[in-house]
Amino acid sequence: MTVIVLTNCPPGLRGFLTRWLLEISAGVFIGNPSSRIRDVLWDEVQQYAGQGRALLAHTTNNEQGFTFRTHDHAWHPTDHEGLTLIQRPNDSKGSTSSARKPGWSAASKRRRFGKR
């Protein structure tokens, strides 16, 4: 089983993929091509994606039963003790915990002091 997800890619690339895979939703393609055809399709996706992003997931003979590849994604697959996990980018410039103001929120003050 092969799944390709395209985001912000040219319509011609989507048309190309419909020759080999079924488009079940906008930009989501699914099918069961051979591994040789899958690799050729992925090469074409990488070449013609332009400014878009792409993700390929397919079945394989490993512990998880599948593997995936990404093209121009902020999240990258990494190997962790034999399992492929997604590494999220480190958002050091604006995390929600550091952006909070110290003290009580307006809602908690109303509840605490009974003002409505």
Q: What length is written for the chain?
A: 116
The one-letter code for the residue type at 58 is: H
Q: How confident is the model at residue 92 (pLDDT cuts 50, 70, 90)?
A: low
- What tokens were used for 116? 């409505």
pLDDT number for residue 97? 52
Helix (H, G, I), strand (E, B) or coil at 74: coil
The answer on pLDDT for 46 being more than 60 is yes
The 8-class DSSP code of residue 82 comes to: T
Q: How far apart are CA 113 and CA 77, in angstroms?
A: 50
Position with higher pLDDT, 43 vs 95? 43
Q: How confident is the model at residue 90 (pLDDT cuts 50, 70, 90)?
A: confident
Kindly report the pTM of this predicted structure: 0.74
CB neighbour list of residue 32: distance below 8 Å, 6 or more residues apart? 1, 2
- What tokens were used for 10? 């040219």
Position with higher pLDDT, 104 vs 9? 9
